[in-house]
Chain A
Amino acid sequence: MSEKFSATLRLGDLNDYISPSQGCVVSLKASSTRQDKSQNLEKVGTATKPLQTEPVKISLKDCLACSGCITSAETVMLEKQSLDEFLSNIDRGKAVIVSLSPQSRAALAVHFGLSPVQVFRKLTTFFKSLGVKALFDTSCSRDLSLIESCNEFIARYKISQSTGDEKSKQSLPMIASACPGWICYAEKTLGSYILPYISSVKSPQQTIGAIIKNHICQNLCLRPDEVYHVTVMPCYDKKLEAARDDFVFQLESPGDTHGNTGLEITEVDSVLTTGEVLDLIQSKSVDFKALEESSLDKLLVNVNEEGHFYGVHGSSGGYADTIFRYAAKFLFGKEIKGPLDFKIIRNSDFRELSLEVEGKIVLRFALCYGFRNLQNVVRKIKIGKCEYHFLEIMACPSGCLNGGGQIKPKLGQSVKDLIQSLEIAYTENVLVADPFENPIIKGLYAAWLEQPGSEKAKKHMHTEYHPLVKSITSQLQNW
């Protein structure tokens, strides 16, 4: 399963500090050897290499899943985020709420040859038959992430224009924070020189978690600790994101009579990948295409009265697209209609977008997907030669539709062909809509968060990043 983690995350974990005391489960199974550990042991390590009857079998993938390589808690954590755990929480009488990502929706639509709307409706039927209380939509919470991101960008842009103290230099480029593989790599490998540039806005996954556990559960007459919230994501790394300490909050209810004060609440209790949901459907021997189409839980689903989905452009979240339009209008009074003109720079995973005012480029944005492209922008930032104002960085080549948790191509189908059909399904019958006009999000601000960037919004919708000092001890405390 761990081959599904993004390549970036895998590379970040390539430090084979498998200390003997921890014991590498994988190597025991494969009865193979461990890697030499320190520089001056380069040859000593091989000199003592036992005679092998077969090649070393520890792979990168094994290492990530192995208790020795990251932390022994991680295997536990991944077990906690499994189908079994999901089903047992339903059995235990928890109020299970599932939030579906639009990328997963598209992947299931392509797999079953259905429209994304049909998939959502049939999944609602399916999950509710298992005992799930509601099926929500993370493209809805994403609109809230996007609004907060727009607001943060304007603030950073203004700081960058002010006279140059250290803070103004570190305000731009702003880097999107939705990709957990990227965040993990930035914290583990790049550290303090890159973290200030990363947007403090929570990802759509964590945003919907915060909405449900802090606010919406009250509408459903549930206590946050009664709710078991599961997201369905295109990406394995999202499991690691959900498990971050930053996304656990203490219940505060002064005068609470149930004695719940101080209870720790996790925004997202578990993450299932698209592939795992397909496994679940298949394990229940359900004829998915024949399922009834239930009505949608409109509380947190971007669907209009006519039953059409709505949302932003961009299959990796539309961060660059949305912020660019907003900044062009807010800062320069330029209203941009229709699709934006992203220019391919070095390859299709590195695309640029700029706004010129009076012959001068005032906004320069880029989409930057995959590890190699990510390396180059990081390098530019480090040497102070990055001209971009905003970077939509995603760890996976082709972005989130190509996430490691997606359904694998069918026999004989190339990855490229699959992604093309996913791109089509992703936008199929989705009305392009401005996040600021989303009635659900407007309602959330009105009833709860006040306005973008408010103290309440900062508390619930923003987070922090922590550089990891490279030592074996810290390796053990990674997550």
Chain B
Amino acid sequence: MSLIDESFELREIQRLEGHTDRVWSLAWKPATGIGGVPAVLASCSGDKTVRIWEQSRLTGSFECKAVLEETHTRTVRSCAWSPSGKLLATGSFDATTAIWDKVGDDYECVSTLEGHENEVKSVSWNASGSLLATCGRDKSVWIWEVLPGNEFECVSVLQGHTQDVKMVQWHPSMDILCSCSYDNTIKVWAEDGDSDDWHCVQTINESSDGHSSTVWALSFNSSGDKMVTCSDDLTIKIWGADIMKMQSGDGIAPWKHICTLSGYHDRTIFSAHWSREGIIASGAADDAIRLFVPGENGLIDGPTYKLLLKKDQAHDMDVNSVQWSSAENRLLASASDDGTIKIWELAPPSGK
């Protein structure tokens, strides 16, 4: 039975308070929330801090375990755990990216990456944790190599976008980087085997079925053959690529438009995130969270996605980020301009 045939509700488990300004971004720590390891979530905010939340073994509720402060001097816009969960990278409007390591019970800033001319908007680790990408208002995308001793070396500075770059995301298995921007495009970057530098291998713009306004976020599905993007143009777009071809070393396969989800949103969509089992969550300026799942296959029109549910007034203000837990618990976290984070569980309707 597919998800679409089931009945679900998005149940608010907990509301996390502590940030004193809007919450921008969230990151579930890898390999937590499973096998008896308590789930850990990082959040970052306009209050210049990062908070680490941990689910209590006893009560099951999330508690703030650490506040990472006095390092960034302006808004912390983005946070990302390294795949091993050892390091946390945070990108800030103060133009720096900080790398945090847990030493005992405390998080210590072990490295600061400078180079962006101004606001850093997003940070992302590649699948192996050997590379870190950052992007920002200076229109550039930077790739850093992680060296022993918490040293980082700049491998590439990519200047292809013509406006603020909103987000960077690595492909879940291959060293292919995607970025999306205020210039309305999505760009795909790959390493050039010849010149040991990186270059843009694909630009998706409006004329290639892309977005007609700012692209705020992107997310890959777990197998990495699909990508979802969301935009100020009020649409969500799904893209597909022949990753078998790429994995066999047979060059770069372009991302092709699969479908556009329009008519569901009437305000800017700030966040889209694909769950492990294939549910797309969106967070938007209308304070709502929506979930989309694949529709019936075999239609002439190709694959479709259907609205599974819409949670109105999920927050009191804009929803900036939605993030599915990578564990098998169907937990979704959301962050909002209202300064709160909410933990939701996707479950059959209560009383059923």
Interface string of B274-287 (1 = CB under 8 A from A): 00000000000100
Chain B binding site: helix, strand, loop or mixed by DSSP?
loop
Bound CA–CA A247/B270 (angstroms) = 50
**Beta-carbon contact of B318 and A60 below 8 Å:** no
Indicate whether A163 reaches chain B with its CB closer than 8 angstroms: no
**Beta-carbon contact of B159 and A60 below 8 Å:** yes
| B-side contacts of A12, CB under 8 Å | 117
The smallest C-beta distance from B315 to any residue of chain A, in angstroms, reads: 14
The smallest C-beta distance from B216 to any residue of chain A, in angstroms, reads: 8
Q: Among B46, B153, B162, point to the contact of A59 (Cβ < 8 A).
A: B162
What total of chain B residues lie within 8 Å of the partner, measured CB to CB?
Answer: 41
Q: In the complex where A7-B159, A14-B139, A35-B163 touch, is A40 in contact with B46 (Cβ < 8 A)?
A: yes
The smallest C-beta distance from B215 to any residue of chain A, in angstroms, reads: 11
Indicate whether B114 reaches chain A with its CB closer than 8 angstroms: yes
Q: Among A43, A49, A379, point to the contact of B213 (Cβ < 8 A).
A: A49
**Beta-carbon contact of A55 and B184 below 8 Å:** yes
Q: Among A7, A189, A372, A382, point to the contact of B117 (Cβ < 8 A).
A: A189
Interface string of A30-59 (1 = CB under 8 A from B): 000001100110110011010010011111
Indicate whether A347 reaches chain B with its CB closer than 8 angstroms: yes
Bound CA–CA A12/B137 (angstroms) = 12
Bound CA–CA A46/B77 (angstroms) = 16
Indicate whether A416 reaches chain B with its CB closer than 8 angstroms: yes
A382-420 at interface with B (beta carbon < 8 Å): 382, 397, 416
Among residues of B, the one whose C-beta sits closest to the C-beta of A16 is B137
The smallest C-beta distance from A479 to any residue of chain B, in angstroms, reads: 18
Interface string of B158-199 (1 = CB under 8 A from A): 010011100000000000000000111100000000111100
Q: In the complex where A14-B138, A35-B163, A59-B162 touch, is A376 in contact with B153 (Cβ < 8 A)?
A: yes
The smallest C-beta distance from B344 to any residue of chain A, in angstroms, reads: 23
Q: In the complex where A14-B139, A52-B212 touch, is A372 in contact with B114 (Cβ < 8 A)?
A: no
**Beta-carbon contact of B118 and A14 below 8 Å:** yes
Q: In this complex, which of A49, A372, A373 has the most chain B Cβ atoms within 10 angstroms of its Cβ?
A: A372
Bound CA–CA A160/B154 (angstroms) = 28
**Beta-carbon contact of A10 and B195 below 8 Å:** no
What total of chain A residues lie within 8 Å of the partner, measured CB to CB?
Answer: 35
Indicate whether B326 reaches chain A with its CB closer than 8 angstroms: no
The smallest C-beta distance from B229 to any residue of chain A, in angstroms, reads: 15
| B-side contacts of A371, CB under 8 Å | 157
| B-side contacts of A382, CB under 8 Å | 114
**Beta-carbon contact of B162 and A372 below 8 Å:** no
**Beta-carbon contact of A11 and B183 below 8 Å:** no
| B-side contacts of A7, CB under 8 Å | 157, 159
**Beta-carbon contact of B159 and A375 below 8 Å:** no
Q: Among B93, B156, B157, B268, point to the contact of A47 (Cβ < 8 A).
A: B268
Interface string of B32-43 (1 = CB under 8 A from A): 000000000000
Indicate whether B200 reaches chain A with its CB closer than 8 angstroms: no
B92-139 at interface with A (beta carbon < 8 Å): 93, 114-115, 117-119, 137-139
The smallest C-beta distance from B49 to any residue of chain A, in angstroms, reads: 15
A118-155 at interface with B (beta carbon < 8 Å): none
The 6 closest A-B pairs by CB, nearest first: A14-B138, A375-B154, A39-B93, A59-B162, A14-B117, A55-B184
Interface of B toward A, CB cutoff 8 Å:
46, 74-75, 77, 93, 114-115, 117-119, 137-140, 153-157, 159, 162-164, 182-185, 194-197, 205-206, 212-214, 232, 268, 270, 285, 318
CB<8 Å pairs between A and B, sample of 28:
A11-B138, A11-B140, A14-B118, A14-B137, A14-B139, A14-B140, A35-B137, A43-B270, A46-B213, A46-B232, A46-B268, A47-B268, A52-B184, A52-B212, A55-B183, A55-B185, A55-B212, A56-B183, A56-B184, A60-B139, A60-B159, A372-B155, A372-B157, A373-B154, A375-B115, A376-B154, A379-B154, A397-B197
